[in-house]
Amino acid sequence: MRVAPRKSLGQHFLVDDNILLVIERLAELDPADVVLEIGPGFGVLTRFLADRVAHVHAAEVDRRLAPHLAEIPHTDLHWIDALHLDIASLEPVPRKLVANLPYNVATPIVAESLAVQQLDLWCVMVQREVADRFFAVPSTKAYGAVSVLVQLAAERTGFHPVSREVFRPRPNVDSALVAFRRTAPAATVEVKKTVEAAFGHRRKTLANSLSLAGVATREQAVAALAAIDRGANTRAEELEPQEFVALTEALAA
C-alpha cells in the first residue's frame, strides 16, 4: 500500500538501511534497552530496533501507516501525537529516544522530552540547522533557548551528517544525526520560563526581553543581571547556560 507523505506532518520517510548502523552506534544499542521511537513511518528503523533491543514504543499519528507497522515483535504502537504522549507512564519505561523526528515538531519534542527523567540518551535525526542549535555556543546565531535547555541537561556524545538521499521524499534541507546523554535533571519550570522569555526578543537587551515577557520589571532584571556580574545591556545570547540558572535565582531573590 502506497502512502504519500504529508507535508503538514513533516514526513520524510527513512528508506536507506545503511544509515541504520550509524544509528546503532550513536544510540549505543543494547539487548536490554527499552527504546521510544517517534514517527516510525514505514517501520524501517522500528524493525531494526526491534531486532536489537528488549522493547520498542513507537508513537505515530498517521494511521494510514498501520499496515506497515503491524506485527513487529515486542513493539507497542501508540497512535497519538507525540507531543501529547505521556512518556513517563509507558511500560516498560523507555530509557532512550531513538527516532527520525518529523521536521515540524523536532525541536519541541526534544525540549519537552528533557523533562522525562527516565530518558537518559537521545539519538535523533533532525534538520542540520536544528542539530546545530542543540549544542551551539553563546554569541552565535544558532544559540537560543533550546540550546540552553538541552545543554543544561545533557552533553553531546555523537554527530553524523546525513545525506538527503536516505529519505523519501528527498528533503530540501540537510539533516544530521545527533546523540546526547543526560548529565543533569531538566531545567526547572522557573528556569525554562526565564530562558524562553530571554530569547523572545533577540534584538533587545535581556533586561528588556524579560520585562516585555512579564517575568520582571526592567529594574528588577537589571538588578538581577548585576547580581551575576552582567551589565544592563547584556543580550540573552551572551549568557552561558548555567548563568540562566543563576539569573533565575537572582530574579527570585
Q: What is the pLDDT of residues 160-210, one digit of tens each?
A: 998 777 766 666 788 999 999 999 999 999 999 999 999 999 899 999 999
Does one domain contain both 32 and 113? Answer: yes
Q: Please report the pLDDT score of residue 8 as a whole number.
A: 45
Same domain flag for 148 and 236: no
Per-position DSSP letters for 153-186, written without gaps between them: HEEEEEEEEE-GGGEESPPSS-EEEEEEEE-SPP
Does residue 90 belong to any structural domain of this protein? Answer: yes
Give me the pLDDT at residue 9, please.
Answer: 46
The b-or-e profile of 191-204 (16+ CB within 10 A means b, else e) is: bbbbbbbbbebeee
Structure confidence at residue 10 (pLDDT): 46
- Domain identity same for 106 and 65: yes
On whether both 137 and 52 belong to a single domain, the answer is: yes
Q: Is residue 173 part of a domain?
A: yes
Residue 134 within any structural domain of the chain: yes
pLDDT at 115 over 60: yes
Query: Looking at the domain assignment, is residue 204 inside a domain?
Result: yes
Q: Which CATH number does the domain housing residue 240 bear?
A: 1.10.8.100
Q: Are residues 110 and 208 in the same domain?
A: no
Task: Identify whether 94 is preceded by a cis peptide bond (ω within 30 of 0).
Answer: no
Do residue 174 and residue 204 come from a single domain? no
Domain count, the chain: 2
Indicate whether 178 and 194 sit together in one domain: no
Last-in-domain residue among 153, 182, 211: 182
State the amino acid at position 119 in one-letter form: L
Domain containing 225 equals: 189-252
The per-residue pLDDT for 74 is: 96
Q: How many residues are present in the chain?
A: 253
86 part of a folded domain:
yes
**In which band, very low, low, confident or very high, does the pLDDT at 104 lie, cut at 50, 70 and 90?**
confident
Following CA atoms 36, 110, 153, 161 in sequence, which dihedral angle do they give, to the nearest 10 degrees? Answer: 90
Q: Is residue 2 part of a domain?
A: no
Question: Do 72 and 24 lie in a common domain?
Answer: yes
| 19 and 99 in a common domain | yes
Reported as a single tens digit per residue, the pLDDT across 131-171 is 999 999 999 999 999 999 999 999 999 999 987 777 666 66
**pLDDT digit string (tens) for 41-96?**
889 999 999 999 999 999 999 998 899 899 999 999 999 999 999 999 999 999 99
All residues at 6 or more sequence positions from 74 whose CB lies less than 8 Å from its CB, including other chains: 50, 54, 55, 56
Query: Integer distance in angstroms from the first to the last C-alpha of the chain?
Result: 61
Domain for residue 223, yes or no?
A: yes
Residues 114 and 225 in one domain: no
Predicted confidence at residue 17, as pLDDT, reads: 75
Q: Supply the CATH number for residue 109's domain.
A: 3.40.50.150
For residues 61 and 135, membership in a common domain is answered with yes
214 within domain boundaries: yes
- On the question of pLDDT at 12 being above 80, the answer is no
| 1 has pLDDT over 50 | no
Last residue of a domain, one of 149, 182, 215: 182
Which of 182, 211, 233 corresponds to the end of one domain? 182
Which position has the higher pLDDT, 25 or 163?
Answer: 25
Same domain as 163, residue 89: yes
